[in-house]
Structure 1
Amino acid sequence: MTISSASWRSLLYVPGNNDKFLAKAQTRGADALIIDLEDSVPSDYKQAAREMVAAKLSDLIQGPAQVCIRINGDLVNMADDLRTVVRPGVAAIFLPKCEDAGKVRLVAQALDLLDPMNNVGIVPLIESPGGLIHAYDIARADKRVVALLLGSEDFATSCQITPSEQTLIGAKQQIVYAARAAGISPLGLLDSIANFTSADLEDLAVRSAAFGFSGATSVHPGNVQALNRGFSPSQEDVEWAERVMEELDRAERKSLGAVTLNGRMIDKPVYERAQSILARRLPG
């Protein structure tokens, strides 16, 4: 698997039936694009959207952002989507309405035929309480699964709750735990993106990163840079991480397992946290 979902700070949804948006998608500065064949495409235009996306994929995959496709969740449209858009250069399939690991395995079996080189990942979307209960099984359902995402608005609707940071926090944290336990990336924000303007988004991304998320999706290109900044480590964090690694490398040469830095003990888990921070230093 060649996909590095850990580098996805910002993932921009692009309607698959909008020629203008598709043409500009690779100029928006996102780490990944999610070309949408599901919710943003009316039922009567599904086939036309598939054909439009298929015609533009060769150009899209040449851009700086990795290209992902959100397919439809029902079996008939799902099969048509996969046959039409799976090709070399597509990074991942975003799979909506995952209730259990069986749906992931079904798509993985189809991808084994369409993508025998195993280059296309799967990102399941958890959008119901039933799906959340099975989040860990979904996250580890197949080796192609590279990230996990909670569909906040659909999830809130299915639970009959008003989406907010307070009402979603428990579900969001479960996504982080399930994804990290499975060794994949948790994607998302602590709140529903519908509740925030671009001016507030960077702070939300910073807080979401502190809770364990590695990046988030957006439906508006104006939010991309706020996500990129918010999910990148600050200069202060980078300097702290570099100092931690220096001190612990020096301690190891002295056969010491732990030392103090600024009055606090640092040891192997802190070293690994510092490595993670430095690995997230991305351009842009």
Structure 2
Amino acid sequence: MSEQRGFELLKSAEKKAQQKGWFSGPKYEEAGELYEQASNQFKLAKQMREAGDAMIKAAQMSLKAEERNDAAQRFISASKSYKKNYPSQAVDALKQAVALLTERGNFRMAASNQKEIAKIYEEALSDDENAMEAYHLAGEWYATEDSMALANGCQLKVATFAAQLEMYDRAIKIFDTIAEGSLDNQLTKWSVKDYFLKAELCRLAIPDDIGAAEALGRYKDMDPGFEKTREYKFLDEIIADVKKGDSQSFTDHVAIYDQISHLDKWKTALLLRIKHSISQAEDDLM
């Protein structure tokens, strides 16, 4: 019943949008309302593709009526209908909303929706490169609005993806910048040792054991308490293993560290890359 009502409302909306006459032209606002009502009926019928399509048409009516704020909200609503089963269409709808929001200087809301784009690329589309760039843009806009915690959260995602894509220098720069900015903040200082660890794993994955050793000394100067942490001891050990080209010692140190501080999937992937580079160097010497 809801689905049938949705199609009836679509026909009425199309008539309003295309209306011609001597004394009146298309009635875009009324058409937009009817398209929105149609979208709601399709949602009730669990026809989410049709719901999204109808809301896109409602947004287009808002644009024709010069109601750009309403258009942005309708594009966002359309993306919600698409998100579960039609993620590419959800991204397209959100991009149109973001363009309207930035045009009007609403960077906080634009950042929130740009972050949603990034999450769809990451979780639904498994598109790491586009996810990375979307998080970067969201972070830039959050920073514009002085929302630094949200900005840093997005940039850390950028660093994570950059390392996965072997863009190690980009990842290192982000981890180092956020670590330095977190040292004097009591709420974020506890995370610094993890940022140092991640940056060092990126250096070793390059591989750059000399740069890693230099950075470890620099980190110790930046945060005197870092030298007493498990992360520092672990890094000191595996940097030495890489320098010596000792893959067995490296494996042993990783296993011991993992028993106490469980290594997540991202760190494990980088450590495997580092081990592979050590093994290759060992093979080259044979």
TM-score range, shorter chain: under 0.3
Which structure would you say has the larger RCO, counting Cα contacts within 8 Å and 6 or more residues apart?
A: 1
TM-score (ref. length: structure 1): 0.28
Larger Rg: 2
Greater per-residue strand proportion: 1
TM-score (ref. length: structure 2): 0.27
